[in-house]
A and B are shown apart, each in its own frame.
Chain A
């Protein structure tokens, strides 16, 4: 392990992946609580389209990522809570964004390698300054989330009650989704669109099954996310050819299944 850490690219990868895991699992806890798992899937895909647009126009991909993901996050905050309508709205926005993405791909010749890089991320190609920048932004997102922690949790658990007590539910929802958009924009270049989704949903979903207390679940989610990316990265570095994403998604899925099975046994005995 010490040997592996001597490689700078691995250190940078670990630093940036752990940073991303921190804010992704925090954001994911609230996304799940608000019934917005679909948003966790849609935002990275929408961001992908934005990144392609930026590449086409000659801007840095991050600008396109931020523009598309935060634009659609604002749109999502108007969708309300009725699950059928909400999912349709998310689906249509995502489809429109991907349509634009396919237009950008069509207009930009020879970009499929670039598209591939955005889709699957380039975790092993993260530079040192990038890795530190990822950490700083991630901590800022986490702190911002903690500032809104109590009203956000209240409005996530009981929106009507929170609104009745004077919590600005709408505005809070929009701010939260913007933070989610920033998280996604931060994470996509590092981990790719596929892995962002896993980090957003996997650790918090398992944590929520293990404890009913919100604070404990949040911390447990962060711990699981850090564990997944660290173990995943070392496995990938040790194995050599199989990408990090596979190890992280497998760890996340297997842990979740094991927890489900053990809980199933437990409730049988009761």
Chain B
């Protein structure tokens, strides 16, 4: 036990876990508030494709992910006048990005040999293989994203909760939406590189989702999602290093605890006040031809 705690693997995993947990909880808070879970999930997968592209052209996985992520955000922005709730456009962008990923992987594998393990590794990732370089990059990006979120906090919160009023008051809704998507893309790029698609998606959705389910004030929700995120990551790492199943990866434990937390939050938050989203909302999403009249 002494040796594990002293080892560099453990230290790096712990620090990276903490950085990613804080970053994902803060960004995830707004992601959930803006009903952009699918966009976030899509960006983690697009990151997977970007990483293989980045490796292929020699930029390295991180810049490949950032590059493809930003391209995807621009595509999304160009395709949808309204960024919220446009899941068909997200789907089309994601599907094309995944196709590119397949292309990159096949070009890559015709050069070297072991594409499979690399691809699957990135998909499931692991906090156990974080290098000091990756750790510093994530730290830097996390500082930047958190600073930007702090700077944009009030208008972003306003436009997320009540876009109509915010627009009437002159808040640049569309620019804010795009800026937030950029921050989300940066976050997913860094997190996917450090811990894979699965863990990044888990930490983005579950803590913030669980915190929102409890229906507290905005600031309490944000703090709760930070606490949840750190707790899940800590528990997951503890079980991965010291747990009984020695071969179970940290991704399994973290996603398990994340799902458990989310389930509990549904049980406890379900009977609270009325839902925040207005009832007429669903007409907008199921109108069969709403896409054509965009």
Residues of chain A whose beta carbon lies under 8 Å from any beta carbon of chain B:
32-35, 37-38, 40-41, 81-85, 87-88, 90-96, 98-103, 105-107, 112-113, 115-116, 119-120, 156-159, 194, 197-198, 201-202, 205, 208-209, 212, 214, 241-243, 245-246, 248-250, 252-253, 256, 260, 263
The answer for the CA separation of A127 and B35 in the assembled complex, in Å, is 43
Beyond the given pairs A201-B91, A249-B95, 8 more chain A to chain B contacts, judged by CB atoms under 8 angstroms and listed by A's residue number, are: A37-B91, A84-B32, A84-B212, A88-B262, A96-B259, A103-B249, A197-B98, A212-B292
B 186-200 contacts with A by CB, 8 A: 198
Interface residues on B, range: 35 or more
**Cross-chain contact A41 with B91 (CB below 8 angstroms):** yes
The answer for the CA separation of A156 and B288 in the assembled complex, in Å, is 8
Partner of B41, one of A41, A156, A157, A194: A41
When A107-B248, A209-B291 are in contact, do A34 and B286 touch as well, CB less than 8 Å? yes
The answer for the CA separation of A258 and B81 in the assembled complex, in Å, is 17
In the bound complex, residues from chain A placing their C-beta under 8 Å from that of B275 are 82, 85
The answer for the CA separation of A262 and B258 in the assembled complex, in Å, is 44
Give the segment of B82-90, B142-150, B151-159 that binds chain A: B82-90
**Cross-chain contact B286 with A35 (CB below 8 angstroms):** yes
**Cross-chain contact A99 with B286 (CB below 8 angstroms):** no
Give the segment of B54-62, B100-108, B161-169, B172-180 that binds chain A: B100-108
| B37 close to A (CB within 8 Å) | yes
The answer for the CA separation of A249 and B115 in the assembled complex, in Å, is 21
In the bound complex, residues from chain B placing their C-beta under 8 Å from that of A194 are 98-99, 101-102
In the bound complex, residues from chain A placing their C-beta under 8 Å from that of B96 are 249-250, 252-253
User: A239 to nearest B CB, angstroms?
Assistant: 11
**Cross-chain contact B95 with A91 (CB below 8 angstroms):** no
In the bound complex, residues from chain A placing their C-beta under 8 Å from that of B249 are 102-103, 105-106
B 76-132 contacts with A by CB, 8 A: 79, 85, 87-88, 90-92, 94-96, 98-103, 105-107, 110, 115-117, 119-121, 123-124
The answer for the CA separation of A242 and B201 in the assembled complex, in Å, is 29
Q: Mark B259-294, 1 if CB is under 8 A from A, else 0.
A: 100110000000000010100011001111101100
The answer for the CA separation of A107 and B124 in the assembled complex, in Å, is 14
In the bound complex, residues from chain A placing their C-beta under 8 Å from that of B106 are 241-243, 246
Q: List 7 A–B pairs whose Cβ atoms lie within 8 Å, in order of A's numbering.
A: A38-B37, A84-B212, A92-B209, A120-B102, A245-B98, A250-B99, A252-B92
The answer for the CA separation of A99 and B98 in the assembled complex, in Å, is 21
User: B88 to nearest A CB, angstroms?
Assistant: 5
**Cross-chain contact A249 with B32 (CB below 8 angstroms):** no
Partner of B91, one of A83, A88, A197: A197
In the bound complex, residues from chain B placing their C-beta under 8 Å from that of A159 are 282, 286
CB-nearest residue of chain A relative to B236?
A: A99
In the bound complex, residues from chain A placing their C-beta under 8 Å from that of B42 are 41
Partner of A198, one of B95, B115, B247: B95
In the bound complex, residues from chain A placing their C-beta under 8 Å from that of B15 are none
Partner of B110, one of A91, A202, A241: A241
The answer for the CA separation of A41 and B209 in the assembled complex, in Å, is 19
**Cross-chain contact A197 with B289 (CB below 8 angstroms):** no
In the bound complex, residues from chain A placing their C-beta under 8 Å from that of B45 are 41
When A34-B286, A197-B98 are in contact, do A102 and B110 touch as well, CB less than 8 Å? no
**Cross-chain contact B288 with A33 (CB below 8 angstroms):** yes
User: A32 to nearest B CB, angstroms?
Assistant: 6
The answer for the CA separation of A83 and B248 in the assembled complex, in Å, is 33
| B202 close to A (CB within 8 Å) | yes
In the bound complex, residues from chain A placing their C-beta under 8 Å from that of B202 are 95, 99
**Cross-chain contact A214 with B288 (CB below 8 angstroms):** yes
User: B170 to nearest A CB, angstroms?
Assistant: 26
User: B127 to nearest A CB, angstroms?
Assistant: 12
When A116-B116, A198-B99, A243-B102 are in contact, do A92 and B258 touch as well, CB less than 8 Å? yes
Which of B91, B94, B101: most chain A Cβ within 10 A? B91
| B38 close to A (CB within 8 Å) | yes
